[in-house]
Amino acid sequence: MADPSTDDNIATRSATELAAGIGTRQWSSRDLLDLYLDRIDRLNGPVNAVVTLDVDRARAASDAADAALARGDAVGPLHGLPITIKDAIETEGIRSTGGAVELTDHVPARDAPAVDRLKSAGAVVFGKTNAPRWSGDVETFNEIFGGTNNPWELGHTTGGSSGGSAAAVAAGFTSFELGTDIGGSVRIPAHCCGVFSLKPSFGVVPQRGYLDHVGGGTTDADVNVFGPIARSADDLDALLGVLAGPAPELAPAWRLELPPCDVTSLDRFRVGTWLDDPGCPVEREYAAKLRAAADALADAGAKVDDAHPPVEFEEQVGLFFHMVGAATSVSAPEYEGQTPRSHRDWLEAQKHRAALNQVWAEWFEQYDVLLCPVIATPPFPHVREGKIVDRVITVGDETRSLVTAVSWPGLIGVLGLPSAVVPIGRTAAGLPVGMQIVAPFLHDRRAVRAAQLSTPVLGGYTPPPGY
């Protein structure tokens, strides 16, 4: 029988495996919690993913979870799993700052609804992970906690804004994580850190409790979603089942039943690809990895065509920047130039979005999923100086604007479509890269099922060296 006190590798197993082990008493909730706390003590320093701990209360909760199992009580699907939560999400009794000095000492009196659902399913929250100020960056750093580094290569980005979340999952500091995504914030970090993530369809998971400004969390932000980051696609499936549902105030009258996906083999998937575009050219080595992944799925039986919805990349991404500028203007004054001048202006943009959504919906009548890049490049060396809109990175032999180089997630996010990110291998330099699997609106389970069936072909998660 595996023993967390002697087998450190248990920490990097999938959440579904860990939950099963608790259920069969291969290990206890307290064993796993102590293992994660020990690893954080030994390994977190250079990575700086976990920034706040709530040890005493977590130990009491883990002990209570173990006692409940011993009594034979009915338990939830996440029973006893020790987890961390992105610092931009309100968590009862634990400092939750949104990465902003204005909230340095903010301790919420209640959980965000999504956190409450995880706890109700049995998860034990023991800490918070780093995020940039108001989740407004693709680099993860702030004045309170400093910067988070990629466990694969400390000098490179984890992505953002859920960079602490993905780094903690990759390094084996937590069972799984809950992050947020308005411009790629669970997808980009999953790509950079070699893990899985799901950006659900807009509105599927309540986003109340999102700390994107002082006094935030009481209303929804356009485009934004909460989503899981984990070490397997099976984890995404389990977590979607826990997290999906109407906001609490709608629950008396509303129900959410996501369409199931009963596909059992890749040969039943019709797959389109959008692996590169002149509007955001993809770095050569990463592009080759994406092509190889698509070809591998075709060899495994999937019906893969180089076809994508008949929309212009730059037009749709331009709409994303227009609408996300409005959504983030409360906390990101640098985007004020992109903010609609009036509510009427926003409504016109909404009409544009509706027209594009119709084009995509018609395309998805012929295809089940779309494969596309996460960003234009593998994880890049840290670039944290100055405003995000002024920063540049090197993509191949070219110097590019950081904001435009990471615009692929906006292509999908502006329409509210579900997207699962899966690892597809590593570059010659040993850096992980991932791929988006996009499904039609509200067909989140199709994106997850495609990720599950793709994992044996594409390789899945492996721990970074030394973790």
**Is residue 3 in some structural domain?**
no
Give the H/E segment covering residue 303.
strand 303-305
Considering the domain architecture, whether residues 193 and 232 belong to the same structural domain is answered as yes
**Is residue 270 in some structural domain?**
yes
Q: Is 199 a catalytic residue?
A: no
pLDDT at 1 over 70: no
How many domains are there within the chain? Answer: 2
Task: Check 14, 28, 29, 86 and give the catalytic one.
Answer: 86
**Is residue 402 in some structural domain?**
yes
Task: Check 162, 165, 175, 185 and give the catalytic one.
Answer: 185
Considering the domain architecture, whether residues 310 and 246 belong to the same structural domain is answered as no
Considering the domain architecture, whether residues 227 and 270 belong to the same structural domain is answered as no
**Is residue 320 in some structural domain?**
yes
Q: Is 185 a catalytic residue?
A: yes
- DSSP secondary structure string, 173-228? SSS-EEEEESSSTTHHHHHHHT-EEEEPPTTSS--TTB-SSTT-SSSPPTT-EEEE
Query: Between residues 132 and 329, which one has the greater pLDDT?
Result: 132
For 399-452, how does the pLDDT look when each residue is reduced to its tens digit (9 = 90+)?
999 999 999 999 999 999 999 999 999 999 999 999 999 999 999 999 999 999
Considering the domain architecture, whether residues 297 and 149 belong to the same structural domain is answered as no
**Is residue 335 in some structural domain?**
yes
Considering the domain architecture, whether residues 112 and 222 belong to the same structural domain is answered as yes
Phi and psi torsions of 156, nearest 5°? -115, 160
Instruction: Give pLDDT, residue 341.
Output: 62
CATH of the domain at 201: 3.90.1300.10
Q: Is 387 a catalytic residue?
A: no
**Is residue 256 in some structural domain?**
no
Considering the domain architecture, whether residues 214 and 336 belong to the same structural domain is answered as no
**Is residue 463 in some structural domain?**
no
- Of 199, 220, 250, which marks where a domain is finished? 250
**Is residue 304 in some structural domain?**
yes
Considering the domain architecture, whether residues 432 and 339 belong to the same structural domain is answered as yes
CA distance 113 to 239: 14
pLDDT bin (cut points 50, 70, 90) of residue 333 is: low
Give percent of the chain above pLDDT 70.
Answer: 98
Mean pLDDT across the chain: 96
- Domain span including residue 87: 8-250
pLDDT at 335 over 70: no
Task: Check 28, 161, 407, 419 and give the catalytic one.
Answer: 161
**Identity of the residue numbered 262:** D
Considering the domain architecture, whether residues 233 and 320 belong to the same structural domain is answered as no
The residues near 169 (Cβ < 8 Å, ≥ 6 apart) are 176, 177, 193, 195, 229, 230, 231
Phi and psi torsions of 398, nearest 5°? -120, 140
Closest to 429 (Cα-Cα) out of 375, 381, 384: 381
Considering the domain architecture, whether residues 23 and 123 belong to the same structural domain is answered as yes
Report DSSP state, residue 308. Answer: -
Indicate the range of 33-37, 59-63, 86-90, 332-336 predicted with least confidence. 332-336
